[in-house]
Amino acid sequence: MVVANQKGGVGKTTTTVNLAASLALHGGRVLVIDLDPQGNASTALGIDHHAEVPSIYDVLVESKPLSDVVQPVADVEGLFCAPATIDLAGAEIELVSLVARESRLQRAIESYEQPLDYILIDCPPSLGLLTVNALVAGAEVVIPIQCEYYALEGLGQLLKNVDLVRAHLNPKLHVSTILLTMYDGRTRLASQVADEVRTHFGKEVLRTSIPRSVRISEAPSYGQTVLTYDPGSSGALSYLEAAREMALRGLPGQVEVEYDPQEEQHNEHNPHSMSEGIQ
């Protein structure tokens, strides 16, 4: 599953690590691949990712086996991480000249021999070659959407990229899950955004939404997910329920989310539409 949204600050990394921990706590064997040069997913899982650590950069650029960089997460049994280091910041440029640059991550995953139930890939907030590698390697796209006014801004471009990758590089790719994050039930805006997202994406949107939570924000500073930092908090319980909902879906009915240029034109002429940013 590829966790992607080129808009920054929507909860991609938080969603990746907490869904992964939730799925592992449900009994799955889960691998998190940190494709963001900032390495925040590695930090949240308590994994060392300074420059000398073997990382996903070595897999993509140096063709090192994925098994050489994967580390177990100490706090959660069955959870593993392929960390990112700052070297990954230059990978976008270095990948350009390499053979089969879009499918290097896919080949690394295919040759990984350890049994896994889930792989979650945390993408950087861009639509460059790192994200394309993730989309080529993945089967499903999980899109976290923040419950703010510009929630849907730029999503049209992400959906177009998913369509392009599906058409040319990875026919099985589809948007399977939309997760509402940073939901504040006290505000009318949050419920308006939630309604708008559900109207646009229908059954792909999980019933469970992730609340604004101090505990979720605090957990990474202790090198933990919220599941181990404060298991009884509203954030931990929400991610557990979201993971359960995703697991029970199994392989969803792959109702594709299509990009609609007419919808974009309509929204451009309707400044009061919450979804004006799909462009």
Domain locations along the chain: 2-268
Instruction: Give how far the C-alpha of residue 172 lies from the chain's centroid of Cα atoms, to the nearest Å.
Output: 17
Q: What is this structure's pTM?
A: 0.86
The per-residue pLDDT of the chain, averaged, comes to 87
For the segment 154-174, the average pLDDT, to the nearest whole number, is 91
For the segment 140-146, the average pLDDT, to the nearest whole number, is 94
pLDDT at residue 51, as a whole number: 81
Band of residue 100 on the pLDDT scale cut at 50, 70, 90:
confident
Q: What SS3 state is found at 158?
A: helix
111 burial type by CB count under 10 A (0-12 exposed, 13-18 middle, 19+ buried):
exposed
d(CA 161, CA 172): 14
Band of residue 257 on the pLDDT scale cut at 50, 70, 90:
very low
Q: In the CATH scheme, what is the homologous superfamily, with its name and number, of domain 2-268?
A: P-loop containing nucleotide triphosphate hydrolases (3.40.50.300)
